Amino acid sequence: MTILARILLENLGHIKTCKPTSSSLNNIFTGNIPVVDLSDHTVAKTLIVNACKEFGFFKVINHGISMDLSNKLEAESVKFFKLPKQEKEKSGPPNPFGYGNRNIGPSGDTGLVEYLLMSVVNEYVLAVRNVACEVLEMIAEELHLQARDTLSSLIRDEKSDSCFRLNYYPPCPGLRALSNAQSLIGFGEHTDPQIISVLRSNEVSGFQICLKDGAWVSIPPDPTSFFLNVGDSLQVMTNGRFKSVRHRVLAADTLKSRVSMIYFGGPPLNEKITPLSSVMEEGEESLYKEYTWSDYKNSAYKTKLGDDRLTNFQKPFAQ
């Protein structure tokens, strides 16, 4: 038995597993997850809004972000994660920013993942934020919001509570044999609490989203493109029209590590989150209580990953 195999077996009691279903890692989704060409705004904004309603998730191409920049950051990330454990731990713990290993948040969630959580704004993060803002401005146009920057201004704000995260999932050759046909959870199912998230990964599979019918499907990786997730806050601001997508990462049976880079676009801590009046139809009731991003953030990060974090913020008649 290899050293890696022994390590996996020793930690199966601490790392959660997922029983195989009809939508297991082998079931690569071939449905109509929208691919949005950002070079054509007229078509893109309609596709984006439809995707946010149906999936809470879509892929963008022609985004204008240099692949050299993305590849350089990925390479530097891999160098860091391959350092000895004691060296990496000098950058931790993630409270709120820094290096973390297996433990995800303060509520006991674990996964086969190492990560860096940062608030820095470098060239890559600035470029990805611009894509997020471009998308949010197209959403504002399509929804006929009062101003084109109604949403984007929240993450362009100098007090924006946005952050950047690097996730590293170690290679797991022979995984299926070790775990008795179960899949190890790299990062457990959850929704993102922020407004919008922008994800880019290398060519290693593992990322899954949950469809409306509850089926989990795997999204083929594409290092040249970016995937965008609707967050809880955007679901609230559209009064439930957009759906915050539930997603997870399963460890892949591969010789190569999975590296993902995620930008989470969040509003300022004191920003009030509530359904936008310009979205609501005449006589439409708000499904959610008004709260600040700080209130929701504090509540969300005290829950388990898989909890429905918005339940406590729904109005009684909407539950």
CB 245 within 8 A of CB 55: yes
Q: How far apart are CA 96 and CA 215, in angstroms?
A: 33
Determine the 3-state secondary structure of 28 from DSSP: strand
Q: Which of 216, 240, 245, 213 is nearest to 228 (CA)?
A: 245
**Closest among 218, 213, 215 to 201, alpha carbons compared:** 218
Distance between CA atoms of 273 and 165, rounded to whole angstroms?
A: 23
Dist. CA 170–CA 116, nearest whole Å: 14
Whether the per-residue pLDDT at 172 is higher than 60: the answer is yes
pLDDT score for 251: 82
Maximum Cα interatomic distance, the chain, rounded to a whole number of Å:
66
In the numeric block, which tokens belong to residue 286?
Answer: 């708000």
* pLDDT at position 32 over 90: no
Cβ count near 240 (within 10 Å): 18
Check residues 29 and 206 and name the one with the higher pLDDT: 206
Strand partners, 133: none
Q: How far apart are CA 319 and CA 311, in angstroms?
A: 7
Cα angle, residue 235 at apex, residues 233 and 237 outer, rounded to 5°: 70
Q: With 90 as the cut, is the pLDDT of residue 9 above it?
A: no
pLDDT digits (tens, 9 = 90+) for 122-171: 899 999 999 999 999 999 999 999 899 999 999 999 999 999 999 999 88
pLDDT of residue 170: 86
> Which token pair is 300?
């969300």
Say what the pTM is: 0.86
Which neighbouring-strand residues pair with 277? none
CA distance 3 to 5: 5
Domain boundaries, the chain: 38-313
**pLDDT band for position 175 (50/70/90)?**
low
Instruction: Determine which one of 129, 246, 258, 309 is catalytic.
Output: 258
Query: What is the CATH code of the structural domain delimited by 38-313?
Result: 2.60.120.330
Say what the pLDDT of residue 115 is: 84
265 membership: H or E segment, kind and range = strand 258-265
> Is 176 among the catalytic positions?
no
| 84: CB partners within 8 A, 6+ apart | none
pLDDT in tens, 85-121: 899 888 877 777 888 887 877 777 878 788 888 777 6
